[in-house]
Amino acid sequence: MRRKPLREQVIVVTGASSGIGLVTARMAADRGARVVLAARSEAVLARVAEELGDRAVHVVADVGRLEDVQAIADKAVATFGGFDTWVNVAGLTVYGPLREIAYEDHERLIQTNLWGTVNGSLVAVEHLRKRGGALINVGSIASDLAFPFQGLYATSKHAVKGFTDTLRMELIAERTPVSVTLVKPASIDTPLPQRARNYMDREPTLPPPIYPPQEVANAILHAAEHPQRDIIVGGGGKLFVVGKEFAPGAYDELAPAVIALQKRSESPRNPQGALHTPRDAGNERGDPPIYVMRTSAYTRATLHPLATASVLAVGLAATAAVILGTRRKPVRR
């Protein structure tokens, strides 16, 4: 599917007041796109929209409510005449053992992470099926892996993957000109842990390796122009996924280590987080206690598979030439 260049697109970004969503919105505007910002934090959205100028408009919305999501689409149509790409980013997490988490916290997480994606996807597709475009859902490597002490987060991301894959197949069967991409980040340096509902006795963090949110935003905007089915952001995440597929039992045995890697040394700062009430928005990055990778060479290579294949082919050819040349050398007697 051929897509417009970013400078000619209108892009809707949910979860645009923090982390990946905020970085994506800013990067899209920097590359010339017009942007519709959506999130629960009105003051932050207004500030970012003002920063981006007349190329941006904002909508206060809770993506767990279908009527709010429809209002986002209506605003895009009223302001810019429609949209070309819709990006579902909004999401939160809860840290703690499944048996200790209150039902209303489970319910709220699923309402945001899963139903927010479902609502955004279905509203977006109804608009895009007439004009063509891209739907981009942000899942996680937790779409393929389980994470103890983030059980409902992993559950929601597994569900997002199942929904996204099914929707893609139905659109293909209908010959609808909408590309569907699932972006699956590894640990990303965003305020997600600080804004999480936390039941642990320690401040939460993300397991290493951790990558900058710009890597995810770059993958999202690449998919807006060059559709891809799936994009994993972070080579470390890819290794975890592959390792789990080859040895699922061994991965299960890592549970104590995975739990330990999600705890910082200090006591919880804000256990309630932003699950039910928007707060602490406006930041692109968090404050992880460990080193953050500068880029992901793996991800950047997957965004340009033909170039990567060419490099690989040249490397294989050179290796083969060396081997064959060695074999053809006459044996001295």
**Look-up: residue for tokens 């109804």?**
126
Burial class (CB in 10 A: 0-12, 13-18, 19+), 70: middle
Residue 85, token pair as written in the block: 């790409």
Residue 222, token pair as written in the block: 């690449």
Residue 251 catalytic? no
Give which of 206, 90, 98 is closest to 152, Cα–Cα. Answer: 98
φ/ψ of 206, rounded to 5, equals -110, 145
Q: Which residues of 130-143 are buried (b: 16+ CB within 10 A; e: fewer)?
A: eeebbbbbbbbbbb
Report the distance separating Cα 45 and Cα 56, nearest Å. 10
Which DSSP string do the residues of 156-220 spell out, in sequence order? HHHHHHHHHHHHHHHHHHTT-SEEEEEEEE-EE-SSTTTTSEE-SSS-B--PSPEE-HHHHHHHH
**Contact call for residues 53 and 25 (beta carbons, < 8 A):** no
Residue 191, token pair as written in the block: 């305020």
**Contact call for residues 82 and 76 (beta carbons, < 8 A):** yes
- Find the catalytic residue in 95, 153, 199, 211: 153
Give which of 17, 24, 94 is closest to 62, Cα–Cα. Answer: 17
**Look-up: residue for tokens 């859902």?**
137
Q: Give the residue numbers annotated as catalytic, written as ranges.
A: 153
